[in-house]
Amino acid sequence: MSQHADDLRERVRDRYAAAATAVTTGTGAACSTAACCGPDAGGAVQDVEIGDGFGAQLYPRDDRDALPAEAIAASLGCGNPLAVADLHPGETVLDLGSGGGIDVLLSARRVGPTGTAFGVDMTDEMLDLARANAAKSGVGNVEFLKGTIEDVPLPDGSVDVVISNCVINLSTDKPAVLAEAHRLLRPGGRFGVSDVVAEDHLDADQRAERGSYVGCIAGALSISEYRDGLAAAGFTDISVTPTHDVADGMHSAIIRASKPAAGSCCGVQDCCSPGERAVDAGATVAEAKTASGCGCVPSES
């Protein structure tokens, strides 16, 4: 990672540390005390207030009522990824950029005592807040890990579902985030996130202009860029569905995708395994994957 990207990450970390401290010390909600931030096209971190399209108001009241006030106050997201994650008892779920823990705690209730909810965050203050919120909630099947969303300290194929709430747009290396999500998922696993996306006609400068007064969106991918990035990482069944506007030409969106199940993708038998082979005996694995357009990385010529 370049020095510029490192500096930008540290500035983002500082902003979210301030947001967590504001909640912990009772000096205000994260959204009003420490403004949300994101990198613009020139690398500057925007200082802006959260608008109506962000925060805990996007969750049903029953969910909010079941959580500590501090988890609600620290919510900085642009949607509700649990509305699309379709979690089931016994599953393992990972929240990328878990913040104060709202989505991890709600996920833990959905997967039940036989499941596990992980959260990963790079900010010590947010991790402390999330662990305190878990203790107050009495939820035991959660674990908060320190790390970045580009390099999560979990083994390959260890989770069933990856969720995230308005965090991937803050990354300075989004292809690495999507590749990491694919690595972490078991075959057949699901990717279901809320994020801000730009309409395809907006260039980087136009996105940055909108980020200057909405926040957390200047680094957003376009709809086509998100689709292409997920395909390049190896995902299939990709959809990007805008849910509400956050600025002119910018939307909160639900992004869904799947990691192909072994033996069922790309016109390839035993796909993504050492024994993969093309269903069409006259084609190579690489040809089958390219023809399908599924985004899997060809393993043979």
Q: What is the pLDDT of residue 224?
A: 96
Asked whether residue 180 falls in the same domain as residue 298, the answer is no
Asked whether residue 109 falls in the same domain as residue 249, the answer is yes
The helix/strand count (H/E) of the chain reads as 11, 9
Pick from 154, 220, 160, 13: nearest CA to 97: 13
* Token pair of 241 as six digits: 């569905």
Asked whether residue 115 falls in the same domain as residue 56, the answer is yes
Asked whether residue 254 falls in the same domain as residue 273, the answer is no
Q: What is the pLDDT of residue 200?
A: 95
Asked whether residue 275 falls in the same domain as residue 165, the answer is no
Asked whether residue 238 falls in the same domain as residue 282, the answer is no
Higher-scoring residue by pLDDT: 265, 223: 223
Asked whether residue 290 falls in the same domain as residue 166, the answer is no
Q: What is the pLDDT of residue 5?
A: 63
Query: Can you give the CATH number for the domain in which 239 is found?
Result: 3.40.50.150
Q: Which of 29-38, 80-89, 123-132, 164-173 has the lowest mean pLDDT?
A: 29-38
Please give the C-alpha separations between residue 185 and each of 5, 167, 173, 268, in angstroms, as whole numbers. Answer: 26, 18, 19, 19
Question: Do the beta carbons of residue 180 and residue 167 sit within 8 Å?
Answer: no
Total domains, the chain: 2
Asked whether residue 167 falls in the same domain as residue 61, the answer is yes
Q: What is the pLDDT of residue 265?
A: 56
Asked whether residue 39 falls in the same domain as residue 128, the answer is yes
Q: Computed over its alpha carbons, how large is the radius of gyration of the chain?
A: 19
Q: What is the mean pLDDT of residues 121-140?
A: 90
Q: What is the pLDDT of residue 285?
A: 78
Average pLDDT, the chain: 76
- Domain enclosing residue 189, as ranges: 3-258
**Using 50, 70 and 90 to split pLDDT, how confident is the model at 17?**
low
Asked whether residue 282 falls in the same domain as residue 244, the answer is no
Q: Is the pLDDT of residue 101 over 70?
A: yes
Question: Do the beta carbons of residue 42 and residue 219 sit within 8 Å?
Answer: no
Asked whether residue 217 falls in the same domain as residue 293, the answer is no
Asked whether residue 290 falls in the same domain as residue 179, the answer is no
Report the distance separating Cα 96 and Cα 99, nearest Å: 9
Q: What is the pLDDT of residue 63?
A: 55
Rounded to two decimals, the pTM is 0.75
Question: Do the beta carbons of residue 154 and residue 94 sit within 8 Å?
Answer: yes
